[in-house]
């Protein structure tokens, strides 16, 4: 499983790094506005990569045999179009969070700014994983997926909150211990995203699986094929 998480992380980074580089240019160069727009345009495949990653990790949790390269490629191709807009919007939200923390909260820390950033971030962390899980498994309209995600995340608020916190703990520890943590930054490139999603899905997969009978449906399909 460890090596599969590394493979999955590297695959996701192939699609996420171009947008991330452009966003960094928007923060630290004079091409801020243009670079930010280009960063969002480059985020087009990120949603599909998220859905493909969620699918592969959920297979690991189900202990369902699979091949990371094949499963990721197949799900990316299947979900690229539907996941594009959610992926761009989620990427934009996270970029704006980085901007807010860097230029407002760290510059002038106070409880109002912290809450203004932290509460939306928590809600995002509760809801977003459900969106990409459903895109990976269920063929319904995006608007219904978003509605389902809100209902499930708040209907299982305990699991959702724990999943959201588990998903950011690796990154939070890294940021908290900067600059001492900089030597460990390569680990984030090879494991940061997939390990975070794995921890999140350990918490939220059971209600999704139960709500949509995913494992049961897949089992019946497998029996039918046999």
The burial class, CB within 10 Å (0-12 / 13-18 / 19+), for 83 is: buried
Answer positive or negative: Cα dihedral of 184, 190, 196, 199. negative
Mean pLDDT of the chain: 90
Q: 24-44: per-residue pLDDT in tens?
A: 999 888 877 899 999 999 999
Residues 6+ away with beta carbon under 8 Å from 69: 7, 11
Alpha carbon distance 104, 217 (integer Å): 48
At 184, the pLDDT band (50, 70, 90 cuts) reads: confident
Over residues 201-211, the pLDDT tens digits come to 999 999 999 89
**Full domain range(s) for residue 48:** 2-225
User: In total, how many domains does the chain have?
Assistant: 1
> Could you tell me the two tokens for 104?
């407002």
Looking at the chain, the whole-number percentage of residues with pLDDT higher than 90 is: 65
| pTM, entire model | 0.91
The total number of residues shown for the chain amounts to: 226
């Amino acid at each position: 499983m460890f090596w599969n998480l590394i493979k999955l992380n590297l695959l996701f980074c192939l699609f996420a790094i171009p947008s991330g580089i452009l966003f960094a240019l928007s923060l630290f160069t004079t091409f801020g506005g243009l670079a930010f727009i280009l960063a969002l345009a480059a985020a087009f495949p990120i949603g599909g990569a998220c859905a493909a990653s969620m699918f592969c990790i959920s297979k690991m949790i189900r202990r369902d045999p699979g091949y990371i390269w094949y499963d990721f490629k197949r799900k990316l191709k299947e979900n690229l179009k539907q996941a594009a807009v959610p992926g761009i919007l989620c990427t934009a939200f996270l970029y704006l969070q980085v901007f807010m923390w860097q230029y407002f909260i760290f510059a002038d820390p106070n409880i109002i700014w912290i809450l203004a950033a932290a509460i939306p971030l928590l809600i995002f962390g509760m809801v977003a994983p459900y969106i990409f899980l459903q895109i990976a498994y269920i063929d319904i309209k995006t608007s219904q997926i978003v509605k389902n995600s809100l209902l499930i995340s708040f209907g299982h608020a305990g699991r959702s909150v724990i999943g959201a916190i588990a998903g950011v703990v690796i990154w939070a520890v890294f940021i908290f211990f900067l600059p001492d943590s900089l030597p460990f930054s390569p680990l984030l490139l090879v494991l940061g995203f997939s390990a975070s999603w794995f921890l999140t899905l350990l918490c939220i997969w059971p209600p999704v699986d139960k709500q949509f009978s995913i494992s049961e449906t897949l089992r019946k399909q497998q029996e039918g094929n046999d």
